[in-house]
């Protein structure tokens, strides 16, 4: 695990919903990140399963800071800002077709949030960076402290459509959401178990691993139903 | 007079840390129902390699080159909505994060006669390391007009 130190060289978004955090820097690499000492397994799993589902979440890894284990969420881009900041800095860009397209391209995150059960979904939790070409944007989701919180024995029926972020809800693309749903459904149960088991027991005890693994497998079958019922697919 | 203030800084690269660039300060004082805010800042004009925005565009460029207007618009909007005991500086500090950010707000007590423009200018100079001439509106506050005159009489018999 990489060692991180607290820094004042930048400032992450204010922690919400109890997910306390602080800005950190990795002395070995110079990388900056958001260090989270609570909800560590949720933040790590939020990133790892996003990779499997093909949706954008900034890299998040286990690390240490002052001897304590943290989840270090790396910055989305050298220049990046959250969705409300784009609106404050440049309302014209915020209201542009290109920005709306970027939100549509990111609407697969709605299927993902439905699957992992993220509860705290604000526009401040959508990070924006420049895309591959000037005028293009790429959007990622941050803050999974409230995810993976279902009780033991969760079923497909426990899946609910997410209540946010507002910017994504207003720019849904059924094809993008559908494609993300297909990817989520295709993740093998063994792969889900493997990812959850990769977290050390001190970070995620065995009982929670069992609850999360079986819940994710069961909930795979409920994502399409929930999204279709809501008219999103 | 109690004031609340914060420094505004810019981090050029959120993936490979660079030396943050001091940009300005904001100072807030609440006098009863009256609120006063002063924002002093600087923006890059022309080549500014330390900002690492040569290839930046749109909001990723404007957050550095046009930050003052964006922050001031935000400040005025918050002023109009803030309750009497709510500090706008603290709200701004929670909203402006990532490349352009407010450092942790601090409290300070200064003499009631101090002009907030002067306080802000001194804070700015100390933070940015550049002297700026006094503003036209800088002059010591007039002593506050007392609303009541107290009388005491004592009689002994």
Residue B101 has its nearest CB partner, among A10, A90, A93, at A10
The pLDDT value recorded for residue B145 is 53
Cβ distance of B60 and A130 shorter than 8 Å: yes
DSSP character at residue B98: B
Q: What is the interface pTM, i.e. ipTM, of the complex? A: 0.93
Q: How far is B12 from chain A (nearest CA, A)?
A: 7
The pLDDT value recorded for residue B136 is 83
- Distance (Å, rounded) from C-alpha A187 to C-alpha B139? 69
Length of chain B: 157
CA distances from B22 to A88, B10, B76, B105, B148 (A): 20, 6, 22, 15, 45
Residue of A nearest to B51 (CA): A79
The pLDDT value recorded for residue A150 is 97
The model's pLDDT over B45-69, given as tens digits with 9 standing for 90+, comes to: 888 999 999 999 999 999 999 999 9
Does B77 contact chain A (CB < 8 Å)?
no
The pLDDT value recorded for residue B144 is 55
The model's pLDDT over A139-151, given as tens digits with 9 standing for 90+, comes to: 999 999 999 999 9
Cβ distance of B99 and A93 shorter than 8 Å: no
- Distance (Å, rounded) from C-alpha A83 to C-alpha A85? 5
Cβ distance of A130 and B56 shorter than 8 Å: yes
**Spans in chain A with pLDDT lower than 70:** 14-19
If pLDDT is split at 50, 70 and 90, which confidence band does B149 have?
low
Residue A90 has its nearest CB partner, among B18, B62, B96, at B62
- Distance (Å, rounded) from C-alpha B88 to C-alpha A188? 50
Q: How far is A75 from chain B (nearest CA, A)?
A: 6
Residue A78 has its nearest CB partner, among B13, B57, B70, at B13
For residue A162, give the 3-state DSSP assignment.
Answer: coil
Cβ distance of A82 and B58 shorter than 8 Å: no
Cβ distance of B11 and A9 shorter than 8 Å: yes
- Distance (Å, rounded) from C-alpha A90 to C-alpha B47? 21
Q: How far is B142 from chain A (nearest CA, A)?
A: 37
The pLDDT value recorded for residue B150 is 56
Q: Looking up tokens 């994504």, which residue turns up?
A: A168
Does B60 contact chain A (CB < 8 Å)?
yes
Phi then psi for B106, rounded to 5 degrees? Answer: -130, 155
Does B118 contact chain A (CB < 8 Å)?
no
Contact A106, A140 (CB under 8 A): yes
Q: Which two tokens stand for residue B121?
A: 């200018």
Cβ distance of B15 and A74 shorter than 8 Å: yes
Q: Which two tokens stand for residue A72?
A: 């270090």
Does A205 contact chain B (CB < 8 Å)?
no
- DSSP H helical ranges for chain B: 58-65, 67-81, 88-95, 116-128
- Distance (Å, rounded) from C-alpha A27 to C-alpha A214? 38
Given its phi and psi angles, is residue A132 left (phi above 0), alpha (psi -120 to 50 degrees) or beta?
alpha
CA distances from B33 to A174, B30, B86 (A): 51, 7, 11
The model's pLDDT over B63-118, given as tens digits with 9 standing for 90+, comes to: 999 999 999 999 999 999 988 888 999 999 999 998 999 999 999 999 888 899 99
Cβ distance of B96 and A130 shorter than 8 Å: no
The pLDDT value recorded for residue A114 is 98
Closest by alpha carbon to A11, among A67, A92, A85, A65? A85
Residues of B in contact with A83 (CB under 8 A): none
Buried b (16+ CB within 10 A) or exposed e, A129-153: bbbeeeebbbbbbbbbbbbbbbeee
């Amino acid at each position: 695990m990489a060692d991180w130190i607290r820094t004042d060289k930048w400032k992450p978004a204010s922690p919400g919903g109890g997910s306390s955090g602080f800005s950190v820097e990795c002395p070995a690499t110079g990388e900056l990140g958001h260090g989270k000492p609570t909800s560590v397994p949720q933040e790590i799993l939020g990133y790892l399963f996003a990779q499997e589902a093909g949706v954008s979440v900034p890299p998040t890894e286990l690390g240490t800071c002052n001897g304590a284990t943290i989840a270090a969420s790396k910055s989305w881009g050298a220049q990046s800002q959250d969705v409300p900041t784009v609106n404050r800095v440049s309302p014209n860009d915020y209201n542009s077709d290109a920005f709306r397209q970027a939100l549509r391209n990111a609407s697969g995150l709605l299927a993902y949030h439905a699957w992992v059960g993220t509860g705290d979904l604000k526009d401040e939790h959508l990070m924006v960076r420049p895309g591959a070409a000037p005028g293009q944007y790429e959007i990622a989701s941050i803050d999974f402290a409230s995810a993976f919180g279902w009780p033991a024995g969760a079923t497909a029926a426990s899946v609910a459509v997410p209540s946010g972020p507002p910017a994504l809800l207003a720019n849904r693309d059924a094809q993008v959401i559908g494609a993300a749903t297909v990817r989520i459904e295709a993740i093998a149960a063994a792969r889900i178990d493997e990812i959850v088991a990769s977290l050390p027991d001190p970070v995620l005890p065995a009982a929670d691993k069992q609850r999360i693994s079986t819940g994710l497998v069961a909930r795979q079958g409920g994502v399409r139903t929930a999204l279709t019922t809501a008219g999103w697919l | 007079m109690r004031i609340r203030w914060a420094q505004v800084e810019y981090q050029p690269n959120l993936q490979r840390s660079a030396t943050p660039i001091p940009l300005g300060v904001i100072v807030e004082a609440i006098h009863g129902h009256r609120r006063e805010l002063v924002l002093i800042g600087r923006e890059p004009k022309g080549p500014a390699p330390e900002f690492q925005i040569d290839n930046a565009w749109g909001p990723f460029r404007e957050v550095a080159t046009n930050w003052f207007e964006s922050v001031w618009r935000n400040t005025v909007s918050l002023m109009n909505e803030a309750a009497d005991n709510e500090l706008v500086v603290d709200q701004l500090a929670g909203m402006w994060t990532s490349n352009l950010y407010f450092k942790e707000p601090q409290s300070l007590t200064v003499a009631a006669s101090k002009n907030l423009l002067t306080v802000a200018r001194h804070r700015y100079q100390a933070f940015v390391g550049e002297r700026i001439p006094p503003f036209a509106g800088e002059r010591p506050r007039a002593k506050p007009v007392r609303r009541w005159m107290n009388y005491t009489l004592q009689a002994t018999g």
